[in-house]
Structure 1
Amino acid sequence: MRRDIQQNERAFSSKEVAEEVGIATPTVRKYGQILERNGYEFLKDGDRRIFVQSDITALTALRDTDKQLDDAAKDLASQQSERLTDSIETDVAIFDTYESLPQDPNQLKEFLMLLGNELAAAREMNVKLASDMSELKQTVSRLQQDHHVISSAIGNASQKTTARIERLTEQQKDHYEALLQQEQEKSELLQKELQELREEQIKEWRAQNDFNTRLEEAMQNRPEEKRRGFFGLFRK
């Protein structure tokens, strides 16, 4: 078990480690597997690795090594093992100190008072942590509610905007169809007027042609002198 982790030491996700070390997230997993294969120990939550600062240092060293990755991983695992051994020896020394209780009643009383103060401080810290945890839960709950409200507002606004666009599109379509109908009616009316003008011109042309024909026939049927007299009227 890892005993080199400091209290309240920050934990990093694989993505955060990738950003810190400057490698891809799959490379973090690859380096983690190489380190474990050679005896390095990670904190784990199930199958998921939890990284601390010393792990980031190890991954950085593995990234920058000129050795074979397995050889470098063995060295890093050996260094970690030494740190863990030193940590265990320190814990044992502290435990031995507490085992050596003073024999003098006054010293024992002072020791117990100190221990009581430490326990009181620990309880106070636990109460504060519980309060902080409760506030954090409330904050998370409020954030979730705010997210729900914002999501609902965005969804409603999107629906309203979509409905408005559809209405405007339908109105523009109706307006275009009305204009098109008006233009068609105007075109049909204009064609009708042109047709009537053509028919009127044809009638006038036929009437004039009939008049000219009758005049020519009348002139041909008159005597020569009368024709001369008739045309003489135009020459005067």
Structure 2
Amino acid sequence: MRNDIQPYERSFTSKEAAEQAGIATPTVRKYGQILERNGYEFFKDGDRRIFVQSDIDALIALRDTDNPLDDTAKILAHQQKERLESPTGTDISPSDTYSQLPQDPNQLKEILSYLANELAASREMNVQVVNEMNQLKTQVSRLKQDHHDLSSNISNSAQKTQRKIEELSKLQKSQYESMLEQEIEKNELLQTELQKMREEQQREWRAQNDYNKRLEEAIHKPKDKWDWLISLFRK
């Protein structure tokens, strides 16, 4: 079991380890699997690997090696095993932690003051984060309401537009029917006038024919000159 972590040593996630080693996060997972396959141990939080500086150094060694990865991983695992078995290894225990605390009350006071300031800053940051989250929730709620209002307005506008189109269609239909009736009436009046003109023309033709017949009869059967002239004007 690993016991080489140092007091207050920083730990890294896979993403942070990738940034430190200058490789991609999937490559960190790949190198981690190769190292474990060859006997290397990682600190674990469940199934999740926790990296410390020595692990990042191992990732960099795999990144820069020209040898097969498994061969390099075996060497790194062997080095880790030797380091863990070395008497200089550090076991984490409460007594070790307390023994490294300064004995000077002033230094302890400074440390406690620093920790108190850090805690206050952390709390202030947490409050700020909560406030920002509340503001974000408010903005999201407003955006949802705006979206709802916009959708309602669009729907209402579409309905109004549809009603106007239907009203215009009805009005156009009514106007068309009215114009059609007017045209029919005008056509009937025109037909009536034409019929009257035809009848008047026919009467004039008959009158002219009658006059021509009387004239012809008067020419072929003359009487005395006065009867002949008078017959011309008889109806």
The answer to whether the superposition gives a TM-score over 0.5 is yes
Distance in 2 separating the partners of 1:10 and 1:183:
77
Conservation of the 8 A alpha-carbon contact between 2:83 and 2:89: no
Report the equivalent of 1:202: 188
1:225 pairs with 202, 212, 227, which one? 212
* 3-state SS in 2 of match to 1:49: strand
RMSD: 3.3
Residue 38 of structure 1, CA deviation: 2.5
Q: Contact 2:43 / 2:50 at 8 angstroms: preserved in 1?
A: yes
The Cα shift of 1:72 comes to 0.8
Query: Equivalences for 1:8-19 in 2 at 5 Å?
Result: 8-19=8-19
Q: Tell me the SS of whatever aligns to 1:89.
A: coil
Query: Which structure has more helix as a fraction of its residues?
Result: 1
How far is the alpha carbon of 1:158 from its aligned partner? 2.5
Cα contact 2:2–2:84 (8 A) shared by 1: yes
Q: Corresponding residue for 2:88?
A: 89
Query: 5 Å matches for 1:93-112?
Result: none
Q: Which one-letter code corresponds to 1:54 in the other structure?
A: S
| Partner Cα distance (2:109, 2:34) in 1 | 42
CA deviation string 1:18-45 (max 9, x = no partner): 3443444343223213212333232223
Aligned: 1:64 with 2:64: yes
Q: Do the aligned residues in 1 keep the contact of 2:3 with 2:90 (CA within 8 Å)?
A: no
Give the Cα–Cα distance (whole angstroms) in 1 for the partners of residues 196 and 33 of structure 2: 113
Aligned length: 204
Structure 1 residue 169: Cα displacement:
3.5
AA paired with 2:29? Answer: R
Q: How many angstroms apart in 2 are the aligned matches of 1:196 and 1:124?
A: 105
Q: Is it true that 1:128 corresponds to 2:127 in the alignment?
A: no
- Structure 1 CA distance, aligned partners of 2:134 and 2:199? 96
Give runs of aligned pairs for residues 1-236 of structure 1, distance below 5 A.
Answer: 2-84=2-84, 88-89=87-88, 116-117=103-104, 121-122=107-108, 124-126=110-112, 128-217=114-203, 219-220=205-206, 223-225=210-212
Contact 1:13 / 1:51 at 8 angstroms: preserved in 2?
A: yes
Residue 182 and residue 47 in structure 1: after superposition, are their counterparts in 2 closer, same or farther (change >3 A)? closer
**Change in CA separation of 1:179 and 1:89 when aligned onto 2, cut-off 3 Å:** closer
Stretches of structure 1 that go unaligned for 5 or more consecutive residues are: 93-114, 229-236
Q: Give the counterpart letter for 1:89 in structure 2.
A: T
SS in 2 for 1:44: strand
Give the direction of change, closer, same or farther, for the CA distance of 1:172–1:89 in structure 2 (3 Å limit). Answer: closer
Gaps of 5+ in 2: 92-101, 216-235
Letter in 2 for 1:224: Y
Query: C-alpha offsets along residues 177-203 of structure 1, whole Å, 9 cap, x if unaligned?
Result: 224413431342133223312322232
Alpha-carbon separation, structure 2, partners of 1:4 and 1:16: 20
Q: Residues 47 and 225 of structure 1: is their aligned pair in 2 closer, same or farther, counting only changes over 3 Å?
A: closer
TM-score by length of 1: 0.68
Task: Find the residue that maps to 2:66 and give its secondary structure.
Answer: coil
CA distance in 2, matches of 1:28, 1:13: 10
Report deviation, 1:66. 2.9
TM superposition shift of 1:147: 0.5
TM-score by length of 2: 0.69
Task: Kindly name which structure, 1 or 2, has the bigger radius of gyration based on alpha carbons.
Answer: 2
The CA distance in 2 between the partners of 1:157 and 1:26, in whole Å, is 37
Could you say what secondary structure the match of 1:10 adopts? coil
